[in-house]
Amino acid sequence: MHSEFDVVIPARNEAASLGPLLKKLKSLYPQAGVIVVNDGSTDTTAEVCVENGVTLINHPYSMGNGAAIKSGARAAQTATIVFMDADGQHRPEDIQRLLDKLDQGFDMAVGAREDTSQASLGRGIANSLYNRLASIMTGYKIHDLTSGFRAVRTRHFRKFLYLLPNGFSYPTTSTMAFFRSGLPVGYIPILAGQREGKSHIKLLKDGIRFLVIILKIGALFSPMRFFLPISLTLFLLSAGYYTYTYILWERLTNMSAILFLSGLFTFLIGIVSEQISSLHYKNADDDMRRTVRRPPDSHT
């Protein structure tokens, strides 16, 4: 049982669901700190927080879900942070299960939504696609890339704040950053409830943005997994087209040369990107070395 942890809740116009959530958190985890980041709400979200005696951080205007997460992470005072939504989808009772997962040696524990918990069939299919792509990029099985319900080691999470976008994709970025840094990520199955009010996520617009972010993160965190298949495809096209034109005209065409050079340049970009990518994790590696305790010298 964790004696101390902080719960960070980003909220924008969530007054209706926030009140019951805060009361339940206070009842179940009186030892926990609760930080609500009011992301430019125009309803009574701030008043609800004051009434329930939680720590309130106000953004003067809506800066985005990711920006709210970063504000809450900076304000946390404990070694463990639990992130959850304010819309009633996440059950406070499941927090202890996330913390238990951390106690098993994981540095991030994620609440992976069951298939029946997806908001719609379209979102379920989209999330399944994101999970598969991200698993390929990282080389690890990712059960729920976009879940906002997770517990993390504060010291590790803060190292990647500068990478987190201000929009809705902080779960995507943080998950892949932890995997790339060699920080273990575990999952627990959860049943997410129906959210109160209207979702701020637009399926088509944010879905395309999530896809672009996965590709960006793949290029940043696992460059060779991203660039190598592209360069190999270009090389194969070059070889195939050269074989075709040689059989017909017995010569090397400009297109074959362009495809070959494109494959070569893409491969070289991947090598350089891999070296640059490693610089993002220098601090994480140093921190992990500091946490490894050497056994005391034995004297006989």
- State residue 291 phi and psi, 5-degree precision: -85, -10
Residue 276 confidence (pLDDT): 75
Confidence of residue 300 (pLDDT cuts 50, 70, 90): very low
From residue 241, alpha-carbon distances to 227, 233, 251 in Å are: 21, 12, 11
- State residue 191 phi and psi, 5-degree precision: -105, 110
CA dist 286 and 33 (Å) reads 29
- State residue 11 phi and psi, 5-degree precision: -145, 135
Is the pLDDT assigned to residue 89 strictly greater than 80?
yes
Instruction: Label the pairing between strands 185-190 and 108-113.
Output: parallel
Higher pLDDT, 204 or 261: 261
Give the pair of three-digit tokens for residue 278: 């490693």
Residue 286 confidence (pLDDT): 54
Give the pair of three-digit tokens for residue 86: 């304010």
Give the pair of three-digit tokens for residue 255: 């297109």
Burial zone of 9 (CB within 10 Å; 0-12 exposed, 13-18 middle, 19+ buried)? buried
Region 6-217: CATH code:
3.90.550.10
- Segment 23-41, tens digit of pLDDT: 999 999 999 999 999 999 9
DSSP 202: -
**Three-state SS annotation for 97-154:** HHHHHHHCCCCEEEEEECHHHCCCHHHHHHHHHHHHHHHHHHCCCCCCCCCCCEEEEH
Q: Among 39, 27, 29, which residue's Cα sits nearest to residue 15? A: 39
- Give me the torsion for CA of 242, 245, 248, 251, rounded to 10°: -80
Confidence of residue 298 (pLDDT cuts 50, 70, 90): very low
CA dist 238 and 209 (Å) reads 32
pLDDT above 90 covers a percentage of the chain that reads: 50
CA dist 113 and 189 (Å) reads 6
Return the residue matching tokens 């463990």.
80
Residue 172 confidence (pLDDT): 85
Residue 116 confidence (pLDDT): 61
For residue 297, count other CB atoms closer than 10 A to its CB. 5
Return the residue matching tokens 């362009």.
258
Return the residue matching tokens 């709400």.
41
Residue 98 confidence (pLDDT): 97
Residue 239 confidence (pLDDT): 92
Give the pair of three-digit tokens for residue 261: 């050079």
Mean pLDDT of all residues belonging to the chain: 83
The residues with which 51 forms a beta bridge, in sequence order, are none
**Longest C-alpha distance within the chain, in Å?**
83
Higher pLDDT, 167 or 201: 167
Query: Residues 43-59: what's their mean pLDDT?
Result: 95
Cβ within 8 Å of residue 284, ≥6 positions away:
156, 159, 181, 182, 183
Amino acid occupying residue 252 = L
Confidence of residue 293 (pLDDT cuts 50, 70, 90): very low
Is the pLDDT assigned to residue 215 strictly greater than 80?
no
Q: What is the pTM of this model?
A: 0.75
Confidence of residue 272 (pLDDT cuts 50, 70, 90): confident
Residue 155 confidence (pLDDT): 94
Confidence of residue 295 (pLDDT cuts 50, 70, 90): very low
From residue 200, alpha-carbon distances to 39, 203, 206 in Å are: 12, 10, 10
Query: Residues 169-189: what's their mean pLDDT?
Result: 88
Confidence of residue 179 (pLDDT cuts 50, 70, 90): confident
Is the pLDDT assigned to residue 8 strictly greater than 50?
yes
- Segment 120-165, tens digit of pLDDT: 566 667 777 778 877 877 778 888 988 999 999 999 999 989 888 8
CA dist 97 and 80 (Å) reads 14
Query: Residues 164-189: what's their mean pLDDT?
Result: 87
Is the pLDDT assigned to residue 216 strictly greater than 90?
no
